[in-house]
């Protein structure tokens, strides 16, 4: 396309740093470029994509630019922080990148992140009191470092105006589709999703996450109860029974358990039992009713509601999506499974 015909919709700047997830960087670059082509075919504006690296002088500068002919700008309209496979940045490493993001935000940029990149956004202080998500595996570490952020790792993407955060690793595809919708609208979003075989409707991270209890809180008494609960393999248990294990008064136990784990004891036990149910749905041929009984729920209807609230899917839908493939699961669905909706 000749230079005179180019109209830049926005520049998306991807922040590169040592060890960052390059699959996301290149994949996001391709995704936005594909959307740009669909937009251009309809006479719409293009999106410019740039990669930014930290220089020796402590400043970040473009190291890649899809449209250098559009000229230089001080800052892209959207700044995007990828995650990395080795885990999120510590505070000292994040500091120069956080300053750059703060400068960009002050100039009107929208900030976005995927996976552990949300730690860098949080280091700016801009997430205080605001909703955000990250990889579900980092939830406890994130809450410890940034207790003022309203973290919700059930969500794949959280859009909060000028800040957009996405969950773990491949959630960059969901984030990319949200950005395409912002930049080009629903028609280009649908066309891009069809071309890349991505569902524009998105997903929820809780469909994939497993329960990762906080065990490094330092309260040895509560840790003893956690180990006891795990050993019981998700069987039904009361708060009184938990408190009795450590010879503690119930009210004191409730307070200490919540302080140590971030959850109420019954809520914690529910997550353990749902985790066991997920395993049975994935690896056995038991009906959904039998799975409920196996994890200690005589009231199958109550367990159906609990499972859906925690996982975001019915038990039948969960099995259909995540059951291990093979001869064991090639049989017709039973009547008991068919009613689980």
Tell me if 281 is assigned to some domain: yes
CA distance 128 to 240: 37
pLDDT of the residue at 324: 67
| Mean pLDDT value across the chain | 87
Measured CA to CA, the distance from residue 133 to residue 245 in angstroms comes to 35
| Same domain flag for 247 and 200 | no
* Same domain assignment for residues 244 and 302: yes
- Domain assignment present for residue 3? The answer is no
Question: 335 vs 166, which has greater pLDDT?
Answer: 166
* Residue 337 forms part of a structural domain: no
Is there a single domain that holds both residue 116 and residue 229? Answer: no
Q: What is the pLDDT of residue 186?
A: 79
Residue 332: pLDDT band with limits 50, 70, 90: very low
Look at residue 196 in the predicted model and tell me its pLDDT: 94
Q: What residues make up the domain containing 74?
A: 9-207
- 179 lies in the same domain as 309: no
Which one of 207, 237, 259 terminates a domain? 207
CA distances (Å), origin 79, targets 24, 33, 49, 241: 14, 16, 10, 51
Sheet containing strand 78-81, strands side by side = 60-65, 46-54, 8-15, 78-81, 110-114, 163-166, 157-160
Question: Do 171 and 311 fall into the same domain?
Answer: no
- 108 and 197 together in one domain: yes
Query: Is 47 within the bounds of a domain?
Result: yes
| 192 and 235 fall within a common domain | no
* Residue 101 sits in the same domain as residue 74: yes
Shared domain check, 281 and 149: no
If one counts the domains in the chain, the total is 2
Give the pLDDT score at 221.
Answer: 93
Q: What is the mean pLDDT of residues 113-120?
A: 98
- Detail the DSSP E strand segments found in the chain: 8-15, 46-54, 60-65, 78-81, 110-114, 131-132, 150-151, 157-160, 163-166
| DSSP label of 20 | B
Decide: 98 and 111 in contact? Cβ < 8 Å. Answer: no
Give per-residue pLDDT as tens, 171-196.
999 999 999 988 888 788 889 999 99
Residue 40 phi, psi dihedral angles, 5° rounding = -65, -35
**β-bridge mates for residue 331, sequence order:** none
Q: What is the pLDDT of residues 216-263, one digit of tens each?
A: 788 989 989 998 998 776 577 899 999 999 999 999 999 999 999 989
Residues 246, 179 share a domain: no
Q: How large is the average pLDDT for residues 103-130?
A: 95
* Residue 333's pLDDT band (cuts 50, 70, 90): very low
Residue 333 lies in a domain: no
**How far is residue 317's CA from residue 12's CA, in Å, rounded to a whole number?**
37
What is the CATH classification number for the domain harbouring 271?
1.10.10.60
Q: What is the CATH number of the domain that holds 194?
A: 3.40.50.880
If you compute the radius of gyration of the chain from its CA atoms, what whole number of angstroms results? Answer: 23
Give domain status of residue 332, yes or no: no
Note whether 123 and 90 are within 8 A (CB): no
């Amino acid at each position: 396309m000749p230079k005179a015909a180019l109209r830049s919709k926005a520049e998306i700047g991807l922040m590169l740093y040592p060890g960052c997830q390059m699959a996301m960087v290149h994949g996001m670059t391709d995704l936005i470029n594909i959307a740009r082509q669909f937009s251009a075919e309809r006479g719409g504006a293009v999106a410019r994509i740039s990669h930014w690296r930290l220089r020796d002088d402590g400043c970040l500068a473009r190291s890649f630019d899809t449209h250098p002919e559009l000229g230089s700008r001080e800052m892209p309209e959207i700044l995007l922080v990828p995650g990395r496979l080795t885990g999120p940045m510590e505070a000292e490493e994040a500091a120069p990148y956080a300053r750059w993001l703060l400068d960009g935000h002050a100039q009107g940029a929208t900030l976005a992140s995927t996976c552990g990149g949300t730690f860098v956004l949080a280091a700016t202080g801009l997430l205080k009191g605001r909703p955000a998500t990250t990889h579900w595996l980092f939830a406890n570490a994130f809450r410890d470092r940034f207790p003022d952020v309203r973290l919700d790792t059930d969500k794949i993407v959280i859009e909060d105006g000028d800040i957009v955060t996405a969950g773990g690793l491949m959630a960059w595809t969901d984030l990319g589709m949200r950005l395409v919708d912002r930049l080009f609208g629903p028609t280009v979003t649908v066309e891009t999703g069809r071309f890349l075989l991505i569902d524009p409707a998105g997903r929820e991270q809780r469909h994939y996450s497993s329960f990762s209890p906080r065990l490094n809180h330092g309260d040895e008494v509560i840790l003893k109860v956690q180990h006891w609960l795990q050993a019981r393999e998700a069987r039904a248990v009361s708060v009184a029974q938990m408190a009795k294990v450590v010879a503690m008064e119930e009210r004191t136990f409730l307070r200490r358990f919540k302080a140590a784990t971030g959850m109420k004891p019954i809520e914690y036990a529910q997550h353990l039992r749902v985790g066991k149910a997920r395993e049975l749905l994935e690896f056995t041929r038991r009906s959904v009713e039998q799975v409920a009984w196996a994890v200690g729920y005589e009231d199958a209807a109550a367990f159906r509601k609990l499972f859906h609230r925690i996982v975001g899917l019915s038990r039948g839908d969960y099995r259909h999506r995540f059951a291990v493939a093979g001869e064991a699961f090639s049989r017709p669905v039973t009547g008991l499974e068919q009613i689980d909706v």
